[in-house]
Amino acid sequence: MKLFKKISILTVTLIAAGVTSCKKILVENPRANITPQFFTTPGGVLGGIIGIYGDMRNLWGTEGFTNITLAGTDEYLAGGSATSSTIPFFTYTNLVGNVAAYNAVSIFGVAYQDINTANGVLQYGPSAFPDALTRTEYLAQAKFLRALYYFYLVQTFGPVPLHTTFISTPTTSDSRAPIANVYAQIITDLTQASTELQTIPGETISSTGAVSPFAGKAATRATALYLLSKVYLTRGWSSAAQPNDFAMALSTAQSLITNAATYKVGLWQDFASANAPGNEYGQETLFVVDESNSTKYGNYVAGGAGGSYNITSNLFRPNYPTVNANYPATGGANVMTRDIANGRPFIRIRPNPAYVIEQAFADKVNDSRYYKTFQTVWIANTAGVTTPRGTLTVGADTAIWMPPFDPGATKRAAFKGIILTPPEDNAPNPYTTVFFPSMKKYDDPNRTGVNDPSTRPFILFRFADVYMVAAEAAFKSGDLTTAAAMINVIRTRAAYQSTNSGPQNTAAATAMQITPSQVTLDFILDERSREFFGECQRWYDLVRTQSIVRRVQQYNAEAGPNIQNFEDLRPIPQTEIDLVTTGPKFPQNPGY
């Protein structure tokens, strides 16, 4: 939201109070004397809203939430440092007795804390602003944020508690609402927010000319329209489906596409620009979770890992500093030294080569997205390293090459560095659990120290997904012509390469076009892999489309034998269930 350097010390104090006092999990446990009167002042309302934005750093960008959204899907396998005991969703084992291991408690804890804060803003905030325009913008922010959290809760856990009023008195009872009720509230909030939020970040929102403090990439009407279309799409697949859900998803997405210029959003020409460092607040971004390297306004600590730090730049890294000059034999100096440019290797998450490399990204000639998603080359950064094929020159020679194909015996013999290839190619030196292509969308070359967490804002929503939501909604409505047209917009952009000539880009784009008859659910899911790989959407994509078990069994040899039908929901954290001690026991999801 990019407010860190604009808010006053007083507001920071209010944020701190709001974040720690409005905690609503299943049992309220206020930490300070925050009363409804807190939300009747402009500072209290602003502090509450900014506190919600700041709290989002406890989910997006963290290791726990990244694992929840990606682990154990068709796209991802466990890296060499991940185990089934610490991250059980990679293999769907050890879940029943170990539901705390995957950090789902933070979803409940953060979400209900912030929902309660939003409820306080909405219930008591109207009296804080005599100016109607200002009041509308502030309350619309709270509506959007409440809807956002409930959307993630209902997708993750199914029926969840539904509260729309501020809770200031602790309670030891709670119950789950039907998912139909949760979706209805989400749609009400987003429908209102889509007409009440600022049109663009930081615009004039007051009759006196005051400017919105919600700058950067905070929620706007475009953000709300996008999320509303995604909610309609998701509900349309669910047991709470309404007859017009897919039509509403399509028309809402198309409205946003038609009015993109008004909202100052759109696609970058080059796919690589969508996730490039420095473009987080650019035209394609609809919403970010902000980060800052300020110790005053952010949560940055040198060398920080775990907790609420953004460590996405580390999680997808292979153990490149341990590749030795004689690999696969032992001995010899390591060909690379850990550095800022190549990142800190956590070795947690690796791409599933059988699906990702061989199928989803099968076209690596016309489609530029594979090489713009994965790092495949490590340039030598260590002096005096000699392999059996020659001495590596720092800054010039490639020390490690991980092509998505077998380059052949001749090139292997002439290449001075180490070559690793997909296991499916049956070539020497296949990828392993610790040596694999590195997903580079979260690269942060501006970190101060090699072991530092990232302070890049986490891009949560991109405009490209508006087209993919429209395509899926059209597909479900039986309109394959519109579905193909929406997908072809994304594929045309994917064909562009800045190093190609105009005719070359035109030819690649033509080769990338699909016909209506090619649109299937699996094609849509494959296209989503190509476009959004690593962007913390995959588990939700597979669950939404009722494909999680089928696709994992089809493509993921590690998780496929273990996944069961009930695992299209995550288990309720036992710590939350245990907090309900009055009235009916709070139920666990079936199967856990």
Distances (CA, A) of 81 to 53, 226, 286: 31, 36, 33
The single-letter code of the amino acid at 338 is R
215 φ/ψ sector (left φ>0, alpha ψ -120 to 50, else beta): beta
Q: What is the pLDDT of residue 543?
A: 98
User: How many other C-beta atoms are found inside a 10 Å radius of the C-beta of residue 447?
Assistant: 22
Question: What pLDDT, on a 0 to 100 scale, did the predictor assign at position 576?
Answer: 85
Phi, psi of 204 (to 5 degrees): -70, 125
Task: Give, in degrees to the nearest 5, the angle at Cα 350 between 347 and 289.
Answer: 80
| 196-233 confidence digits (pLDDT tens) | 999 999 888 887 888 989 988 999 999 999 999 999 99
The low-confidence residues of the chain, meaning pLDDT below 50, are 4-32, 97-98, 100-101
How far is Cα of residue 162 from the mean position of the Cα atoms in its chain? 24
The burial of 388, by beta-carbon neighbours within 10 Å (0-12 exposed, 13-18 middle, 19 or more buried), is given as exposed
The pLDDT tens digits for 40-98 are: 999 999 999 999 999 999 999 999 899 889 999 999 999 999 876 667 889 988 765 44
Contact 75, 151 (CB under 8 A): no
pLDDT score, position 105: 57
Contact assessment for residue 431 and residue 422, using Cβ atoms and an 8 Å cutoff = yes
What pLDDT does 169 receive?
A: 87
What global pTM score does this model have?
Answer: 0.93
> Residue 270 and residue 203: Cα distance in Å, rounded?
28
| Backbone dihedral angles phi then psi of residue 24, each to the nearest 5 degrees | -130, 100
* Strand-strand pairing, 398-401 and 418-419: parallel
**Helix locations, 460-557, DSSP H:** 464-476, 480-495, 502-512, 521-532, 538-544, 548-555
* Of 398, 358, 354, 350, the residue nearest 378 (C-alpha): 398
**CA geometry: angle 63, 65, 69, nearest 5 deg:** 115
Read off the DSSP letter of residue 421: B
The SS3 assignment for 176 reads: coil
Q: Alpha-carbon torsion 381, 384, 389, 395, what sign?
A: positive
Q: Mapping DSSP to helix (H, G, I), strand (E, B) and coil, where does residue 70 land?
A: helix
Structure token pair of residue 116: 């309660």
Of 436, 300, 304, 327, which Cα lies nearest the Cα of 375? 436
- pLDDT digits 0-9 by tens, 525-565: 999 999 999 999 999 999 999 999 999 999 999 999 999 99
CA distance 454 to 314: 9
Do 325 and 387 meet the contact criterion of CB atoms below 8 Å apart?
Answer: yes
CB 160 within 8 A of CB 184: no
Please state, in angstroms and rounded to a whole number, the distance separating the CA atoms of residues 253 and 228: 9
Give the C-alpha distances (Å, rounded to integers) separating 115 from 54, 181, 229: 13, 16, 21
Q: What single letter denotes the amino acid at residue 309?
A: Y
Pairwise CA distance, residues 74 & 361, whole Å: 13
Number of neighbours of residue 252 by Cβ within 10 angstroms: 27
Query: Which pLDDT does position 96 carry in this prediction?
Result: 57
Domains within the chain, CATH numbers bracketed: 9-62+103-220+286-299 (1.25.40.890), 221-280+463-533 (1.25.40), 317-439 (no CATH)
* 91 residue type, one letter: T
How many other C-beta atoms are found inside a 10 Å radius of the C-beta of residue 530?
Answer: 20
Contact 529, 521 (CB under 8 A): no
